[in-house]
Amino acid sequence: MLQVALIYPEIPPNTGNIARTCAATNTHLHLVEPLGFEISDRQLKRAGIDYWEYVNVTVHPNIESLSLAANGARWICFSARGKQHFREFAYQDGDWLLFGSESQGLPASLIDHHSSVYIPMEHPKVRSLNLSVSAALGLFEARRQLGI
């Protein structure tokens, strides 16, 4: 089963939108602290609307805790610095899709030690998409390849 992990998310509506996507696809969502908001944040709840009861979410105090939960599963880092086009990458059942914070992205140490993919940007002045859009693209491409 695919998993989505947000490393140090900062903006409540983005996380809420991703949580909603995870609820709709029955995908476990992992959040790694520090978070730029509280889980009870009104904006976070608003973005998830009334679907929060359907979100399987785990908050991890650090990346080490996330790694223990992943139990050796493959991590796929989504980054503008990724090495392979996200649609050309061969996803596997059990992959964990990792997305970084809105302002910093993923730590280089993660990108350097795990598979990494990028979502292409046509305009040279646009470096990335909104986090919730990127997470949806990545999750649905992985699901498409797996026939889910």
The overall pTM is greater than 0.85: yes
Q: What is the pLDDT of residue 37?
A: 81
Q: What is the pLDDT of residue 13?
A: 87
- Number of domains the chain contains: 1
State the amino acid at position 41 in one-letter form: D
Q: What is the pLDDT of residue 42?
A: 66
Expressed as residue numbers, the domain containing 60 is: 3-146
The torsion angles phi and psi of 47, rounded to 5 degrees, stand at -65, -35
List, for residues 51-61, the tens digit of each pLDDT value: 778 889 999 99
Q: Rounded distance, CA 64 to CA 91, Å? A: 23
Q: What is the pLDDT of residue 43?
A: 61
Q: What is the pLDDT of residue 52?
A: 76
Beta strands in the chain (DSSP E): 3-7, 28-32, 57-60, 75-78, 84-85, 96-99, 115-118
Q: What is the pLDDT of residue 90?
A: 98
Tell me whether residue 100 is annotated as binding.
Answer: yes
Which 8-state DSSP code applies to residue 131?
H
CB 120 within 8 Å of CB 84: no
- Alpha carbon 144 to chain centroid distance? 17
Plot region of 98 (φ>0 → left; ψ -120 to 50 → alpha; else → beta):
beta
Which CATH number goes with the domain that contains 37?
A: 3.40.1280.10
Tell me whether residue 63 is annotated as binding.
Answer: no
Q: What is the pLDDT of residue 124?
A: 87
The tens-digit pLDDT sequence of the chain (148 residues) is 999 999 999 998 899 899 999 999 999 999 999 998 877 756 656 655 667 788 899 999 999 999 999 999 999 999 999 999 999 999 999 999 999 999 999 999 999 999 999 999 999 888 888 999 999 999 999 999 999 9
Tell me whether residue 67 is annotated as binding.
Answer: no
